[in-house]
Amino acid sequence: MRSLLYVMTALSVIALAFWAYRENYATQQALGEVEELRVEISQARDRLAILKAEWAYLNRPDRLLDLADLNFDRLQLLPLQADQFGMVEQVSYPPVNIDIINDVVEVSNQEAEQ
């Protein structure tokens, strides 16, 4: 009986060692993938920062004004002036349905009371 207990204990230790070995390598692989993803994210952020800087450089007002002047015959773009902008009061917004808003407020009040 004692020898059966020793064999079962040894098999359990071997099985646990094998499990720990596999988990260790799976964890190391996952950590490697995470590090690769961090590097890719860092590179993508660097590329995005460069693209934002290039966009800001290309959209300088003096450069755009020069381009508009050069291509006036083809595009017929004129410089912006203050009187070309509308007032907020001139914007037509869709009508607001007050009944729906009141229903939502009543439902939320009822839920708060419960």
9-56 pLDDT, tens digit per residue, is 999 999 999 999 999 999 999 999 999 999 999 999 999 999 999 999
pLDDT at 27: 96
108: tokens are 């939320």
- Whole-model pTM? 0.51
Residue-wise pLDDT tens digits, 74-103 = 888 777 777 778 888 888 888 777 777 777
Q: Is 76 left (phi over 0), alpha (psi -120 to 50) or beta?
A: left
pLDDT at 94: 80
pLDDT at 98: 76
Sole residue written with tokens 């950590």: 31
pLDDT at 29: 96
112 or 75: which leads in pLDDT: 75
112: tokens are 């708060």
Rounded CA separation 77/68 (Å):
6
